[in-house]
Amino acid sequence: MFSSRSAFCQQFVKKLELLSGKPFADTTSREQFLALGTMVREQLSPDWIATNERLRSEQGKQVYYFSIEFLLGRMLRQQLQYLGIEEVVEKGLLELGIPLSDIEEIECDAGLGNGGLGRLAACFLDSLASLQYPGHGFGIRYKHGLFKQKIVDGFQVEWPDPWLINGNVWEVRRSDEAVEVHFFGNVESSEAGGKLQFRHLNTEKVMAVPYDIPILGYQNETVNTLRLWSAEPSPFPPHQDIMRYKRDTEAITEFLYPDDTHDPGKLLRLKQQYFLVSASLQTIVRSFVKQKGDMRSFHERVVIQLNDTHPVLAIPELMRILLDEYGFSWEVAWDVTTRTFAYTNHTTLSEALETWPIHLFKHLLPRMYGIVEEIHERWCGQLWEETPGDWSRIEQLSILADGEVRMAPLAIVGSFCVNGVAELHTEILKKREMRQFHEAFPGKFQNKTNGIAHRRWLMKSNPSLTHLIDDAIGERWRSEPAALQELRKLEDDPNLLEQLRVVKRKNKSLLAQYVKEQFGIALREDAIFDIHIKRLHAYKRQLLNVLHILSLANSIREEPNHNWTPRVFLFGAKASPGYTYAKTIIKLIHSVADSINQDPIVRKYIQVVFLENYRVSLAERLIPAADVSEQISTASKEASGTGNMKFMMNGALTIGTLDGANVEMHNRIGAEHMFLFGLNAEEVMSYQRDGGYVAREYYTHDPRIRHAVDQLTNGFLPHTGDLFNTIVDSLIEENDTFFVLRDFASYLAAQQTVATSYDRMSWWRSTLVNIAESGHFSSDRTIREYAKDIWNIQPVSHEMY
């Protein structure tokens, strides 16, 4: 179809004029984007059909990834690359006077996620398709994705993200495959043939309409599917108040909850969860039965991965289907169900473990409640038999407790495998947070260290580095990212190290150009680009970075003639709208930035910039330009992190704690190629267990700490009054839960090492080593591990057809 540039140009102009009803010369960038997107979708359709046909006829086992979030970002350039037509399209468009980069800018980020968890789901879909696994995603088509962040006077202001307002070229609405989801009502039981039967009556019905998004594999003719559900009113409204019914129904898929870890405790959120799993399971069961599957062997052809606890209602929902619709006995239904699901845990932060008030749960989902109650009772009965009289064990392991449904215990009991997302995290689960469960189910817990799609986070976002690597070691790493290790043979090649330096300079220059255009700020390109981008959270410790910046500025003022290494500190972070502390930190970053950027002495060396509206497409611009990657969470708190992996792959050096996957990065590259500091997880946990940390002592005894902390409230930061009292209180009065002051001195020392090591030969060697060892953190490796150790699925081979 796009065999030659001229053929492409001809077809593009024709498509554009047909779609827009205008002469080519009058068309807008948006119309051009739409035309190109439409052509791409048409181009991939035959492979989409063929992939689905193959899956139908092979009847092999398939995996379904259930996630309340998919943080996809933009798709256009990726689709072009995966179809192998990027060059012909880019050059063709240029002949027509259209830079592809201009058209790319039209596409809205698909921001259907908050951060790491949602982006992980997107990377997994990419790897599933690129490795030709039969794996599909199920999620929600939120009409509004994660809010847009604007900064007004240094404060975060949230704006809705109406990303669908101009339609979505990638999706296909499949009204014919809509299903009904039932809420509220009551459950009636009756006896037939000595068996209790349950019926869920007088429910409120909602239509779940699927929108399918094609998920391309990298140049391999595989096109999997991400199915996103949209809630619509049923054509037969349940009661007379049609307007209210319509409003309530549409509300279900109106917004993504802008909360990372805190449980928002909203009925609507529970509705979203059940809506997702009920609709998805109905589809899966329907297609399984259509292919003449016997539901007793469902688990032999279907495996469902639950991304965190949000989709865990799938467990009682499959029980409901097997009990109420197929008339299975409890034992058989439970056997099938617990062989179908696997659960991924993403956090040990206790405030993030999901629970629902029973009264609410029971009112919204009465049949689900009945089933969860029975799962709970049978489980407690089993525990009683194992350890009679051990009430404390039963209490800790129970699903219902204190008037609440606890989702993590339900997930663990109802699935055949539980995995953590990095080695350290899995160890903490097994030895501490979920020790009792681990002992109750030996062998159920596994580790699957997260990964990132190297195709997006290196090949797409960093073309200069990609070409440099190709020139150095050939292209095999593109499909086998572990082959990046071949770079290690070139550690002492001064020519290659110099080229790495040139590539980094070029990427920094591109970022500077973008920041100038978008925000009107001129970045100093010869400085270290030190980047801290992630959700704003106390445990991620953006505050530690800020205190270091204040302290560095103080040192510069004291010794203005010292030869300071210039540095640009870049931040990007969204705070959950209800998370006051996090929002105050955003204001603090801005106040510190103002104080520094206005100081004629300090600003000669350092610059602080907060880039608003951090999201996937911004991350893709920032990460290739980073010299330093800030991964400074309190040890034991960050389950894995994936931002850390993206930076590593792009040759930034990490300053970080031994937390999450940083530990595994350290194991691969060694301490000499990163800047480690601070307490380790063991030390943090023993402080938490035994006490002994007094933050005030660090404040009192370290003048650098006292100076910087005092500056938050002593009028040094203009026009902020007592705004930052709560932050100082969190450090001193509340004894600094996240050990910011405890790690301060160590962080400062590490930052000084960064400054003195920068731009030496050894720096670029470390850059090379980081890139070389980053292949392990490709999500291709992660997905192969899931496929082999958990899912028991094989890639679909094309050769047979």
Ligand X SMILES: *Cc1c(COP(=O)(O)O)cnc(C)c1O
Q: Which residues contact 28 (CB under 8 A, 6 or more apart)?
A: none
3-state secondary structure 545-601: HHHHHHHHHHHHHHCCCCCCCCEEEEEECCCCCCCHHHHHHHHHHHHHHHHHHCCCC
SS3 content of the chain, % helix, strand, coil (to 5): 55, 15, 30
CB of 619 to ligand X, least distance (A): 4
Q: Which of 148, 454, 534, 583 binds ligand X (CB under 6 A)?
A: 534
Ramachandran quadrant class, 636 (left: phi over 0; alpha: psi -120 to 50; beta: rest): left
- Which of 567, 615, 646, 742 is catalytic? The answer is 646
- 615 touches ligand X (CB under 6 A): yes
Q: Which is nearer to ligand X, 284 or 623 (CB)?
A: 623
Q: What is the C-alpha to C-alpha distance for residues 162 and 140, in angstroms, rounded to an integer? A: 15
CB of 76 to ligand X, least distance (A): 17
Q: Which is nearer to ligand X, 590 or 615 (CB)?
A: 615
Q: Which structure tokens are listed for 323?
A: 């009990």
Tokens 């779609």 appear where? 19
Size of the site for ligand X (CB under 6 A): 12
Q: Which of 37, 115, 316, 678 binds ligand X (CB under 6 A)?
A: 115
Residue 599 has phi, psi (to 5 degrees) of -85, 115
Stretch that binds ligand X, among 112-120, 202-210, 357-365, 411-419 (CB under 6 A): 112-120
CB of 780 to ligand X, least distance (A): 17
Is 346 tagged catalytic? yes
- 116 touches ligand X (CB under 6 A): yes
Is 534 tagged catalytic? yes
Q: Which structure tokens are listed for 474?
A: 């050939």
- Which of 54, 119, 271, 346 is catalytic? The answer is 346
- Which of 426, 642, 654, 720 is catalytic? The answer is 642
Strands (E) located in 412-465: 417-420, 445-447
Is 646 tagged catalytic? yes
Q: Which is nearer to ligand X, 163 or 369 (CB)?
A: 163
3 state DSSP class of 531: strand
- 306 touches ligand X (CB under 6 A): no
Q: Which of 619, 628, 708, 772 binds ligand X (CB under 6 A)?
A: 619
Which string of b and e fits 331-355 if b means at least 16 CB within 10 Å?
eebbebbbbbbbbbbbbbbeebbbb
Q: What is the C-alpha to C-alpha distance for residues 661 and 475, in angstroms, rounded to an integer? A: 27
- Which of 535, 541, 548, 673 is catalytic? The answer is 535
Q: Which residues contact 690 (CB under 8 A, 6 or more apart)?
A: none
Is 535 tagged catalytic? yes
CB of 618 to ligand X, least distance (A): 7
Stretch that binds ligand X, among 353-361, 426-434, 543-551, 611-619 (CB under 6 A): 611-619
CB of 533 to ligand X, least distance (A): 7
Q: Which of 543, 616, 648, 771 binds ligand X (CB under 6 A)?
A: 616
DSSP string across 606-637: EEEEEPSS--HHHHHHHGGG-SEEEE-PPTTS
CB of 435 to ligand X, least distance (A): 26
CB of 158 to ligand X, least distance (A): 16
Q: Torsion angle of alpha carbons 419, 267, 573, 639, nearest 10°?
A: -20
Q: Which is nearer to ligand X, 535 or 637 (CB)?
A: 535
Q: What is the C-alpha to C-alpha distance for residues 199 and 204, in angstroms, rounded to an integer? A: 14
Q: Which is nearer to ligand X, 421 or 553 (CB)?
A: 421
Please choose, from the candidates 421, 500, 555, the residue with its C-alpha nearest in 3D space to the C-alpha of residue 120. 421
Q: Which is nearer to ligand X, 119 or 367 (CB)?
A: 119
Residues from 625 through 684 that contact ligand X (CB under 6 A): 641-643, 646
Q: Which is nearer to ligand X, 542 or 591 (CB)?
A: 542
CB of 126 to ligand X, least distance (A): 13
Stretch that binds ligand X, among 114-122, 425-433, 478-486, 550-558 (CB under 6 A): 114-122
Q: Which is nearer to ligand X, 72 or 364 (CB)?
A: 72
Contact (CB, 8 A) for 294 and 267: no
Stretch that binds ligand X, among 246-254, 360-368, 614-622, 763-771 (CB under 6 A): 614-622
Q: What is the C-alpha to C-alpha distance for residues 164 and 459, in angstroms, rounded to an integer? A: 27
- Nearest residue relative to ligand X (C-beta): 643
Strands 204-216, 223-233: pairing is antiparallel
Q: Which is nearer to ligand X, 299 or 615 (CB)?
A: 615
Contact set with ligand X (CB under 6 A): 115-116, 119, 534-535, 615-616, 619, 641-643, 646
- Name the residues annotated as catalytic: 346, 534-535, 540, 642, 646
